Structure 1
Amino acid sequence: MKFCFALIGALSALGLNQALANDIDLDKVPEIAITTENIPFYAKAYAGVSLGDIHKFDRFDSGDASADYHWKNKGDMDNAFLGGVGLGYRLNDIVRLDGTIEYRAKNTITAKDRDFDTTRKYEGDISSTVFMANAYVDLVTYHDVTPYIGAGLGASANRVSDFEVDNGRQTYEAAAKTEWDFAFAIHAGIGVKLSRRVIFDIGYSYSDLGDAKTAGISGNGALKLDHLTSHDVKVGIRYAFK
């Protein structure tokens, strides 16, 4: 008996649903378009601070070094402004690619060596223009905040200018020189979605800009500035467009 009542109820509901369906004009039902929030092409601009470092200088050979020769400081680099622009493309919800052109303003590099009672001071300015191709992975998004990681490969034009070696009695000077070298970077940061098209980007990069060289110093040859690296803190905007 219970089964009969259940069967009757099910058939009644089915009939009611069919009647309602017959009363609906399907031509008047609005279409629902499924679209993605991720516009593939984007432009970016950013600025920040480069906390630079240098592995070491080549020793300036003036012909008077002895067995007592040693470095007091193999190289320091000041912090400097950096800024860049780029164009990018989002492959999907996770992976995006971009290319950037970045300028790093002049910062001062210094070093000291000593031979007996003579201390020599090395000092000059270095600036860089960096071309980089980057790939990023956008991780999980929470409340419009998306952390990301990435890496880049490229080339850096490292320009040394106003370089001199001072031994207290004589100053040796070098003309400005630009040296190209391989560069790479590792990136991490977060993107904060301000609108469908605009993302505020806070990022960190570890950058290796390769080596730089001075011009010849008073007929004694050039010096190599070995292994320029930097910890970079940046803020910027990504703007998506069709």
Structure 2
Amino acid sequence: MKKSLIGVVAALMASQTAFAADVYQAEPPAFPDQAPEVQVQEASGWYLRGDVGYSFNKSRGVSFDRAAAGPSIEELSFTTTNLKDSVLFGGGVGYQINNYLRTDLTLDYMAKSKFSGVAPQLNGANSSMRAFAVMANAYVDLGTYGRITPYIGAGIGGAHVKWSKLTTCGNCEIEGEDNWRFAYGLMAGASIDVTCNLKADVGYRFRQIGSGSMFGTSDSGQTSGGRDKGVTSHEVRVGGRYVFNGCDTAQYIPPADIPLQPAVYK
């Protein structure tokens, strides 16, 4: 009896071990992240721009040579100068390097700006100037807040300044000069997303145009070599930029769907 009981217990243990060996549980699968994977494409590409504006101008002074007694020449300066404000028109082409940096090349036209001044032995004098400017500019975009992106920038280049005839109170006319000068600018403003391709732009620019020849020699030969000491401008500008690939959007790629693996019984 005792041997029989021991045999039954041994048989039960052997069958339990064999059943456990026949059961195979697959390794638990890795659970993928629930959120889809996002590939974000940085803004980049070419754009065209156009601007109109108003320039508050200031002459930095004018000097000229005047024949004195004998063969000597003395240099005189205008005691007062006044350069009127003018309108601006501009355009250019640029490239958005990434979300924070862009650069462009612009051509601006400063419309007629009237000049008046008073100088020793010339009394009152009147003229006017126009200017074309070619500038290479770089901007740092300071982040986008809703639809608005503030920015700062700087540019260098050259300005072609053309002066009309200088007319004095004695009805004397002296031919004006035209020449290229160094120019630079400092900018700040904000762009506004109108559509995915079009951005409005509102900005301010400080621009300095260097010195150069203003007028030549009078018919009498008494006055010659007029030189203006440069023009300072504070400009308010509005315009727009057309971005060629502005409607490109981020691509959403979901992860691979990995189903749960059930237990396998052998």
Code of the residue aligned with 2:145 in structure 1: it is Y
User: Aligned residues: percent identity?
Assistant: 27
Determine the structure 2 residue equivalent to 1:4.
none
- Determine if contact 1:80/1:107 at 8 Å carries over to the other structure: yes
Give the 3-state SS of the residue equivalent to 2:43 in structure 1: coil
Given the alignment of the two structures, is residue 83 of structure 1 paired with residue 86 of structure 2, yes or no?
no
8 Å Cα contact 1:97/1:134 also seen in 2: yes
Q: Which residue of 1 aligns with 2:211?
A: 211
* 2:257 aligned residue: none
Contact kept in structure 2, 1:37 and 1:196, CA below 8 Å = no
* Alignment check: 8 A CA contact 1:57 1:223 kept: yes
**Preserved contact between residue 39 and residue 197 of structure 1 (Cα < 8 Å):** no
Gaps of at least 5 residues in structure 2 are: 1-24, 70-75, 246-266
Q: Report the Cα offset of residue 124 of structure 1.
A: 0.2
After superposition, the Cα gap between the structure-2 partners of 1:128 and 1:41, relative to the gap in structure 1 and judged at 3 Å, is same
- Structure 1 unaligned residues grouped into runs of 5+: 1-10, 22-30
Alignment of 1:79-158 (within 5 A): 79-114=85-120, 120-158=123-161
SS of alignment partner, residue 182 of structure 2: strand
**How far apart in 1 are the matches of 2:230 and 2:156?**
16
Partner of 2:43: 38
Bigger relative contact order, structure 1 or 2 (CA pairs below 8 A, ≥6 apart): 2
Letter in 2 for 1:221: S
Q: Deviations over 1:45-98 (max 9, x none)?
A: 00000110011111462648xxxx98541x111000111000000111101000
Match of 1:27 in 2: none
Kindly provide the amino acid, as one letter, of the partner of residue 217 in structure 1. S
CA RMSD between the two structures: 2.7
* DSSP-derived class of the 1:217 partner: coil
Paired letter, 1:52: N
- 1:222 matched to 2:225: yes
Looking at CA atoms only, which structure, 1 or 2, has the larger radius of gyration? Answer: 2
CA distance in 2, matches of 1:230, 1:135: 19
Query: Under a length normalisation based on structure 1, what TM-score does the superposition of the two structures give?
Result: 0.77
Q: Offset of 1:107 from its aligned partner? A: 0.7
Residues 128 and 156, structure 1, Cα contact 8 Å, conserved in 2: yes
CA distance in 2, matches of 1:162, 1:146: 45
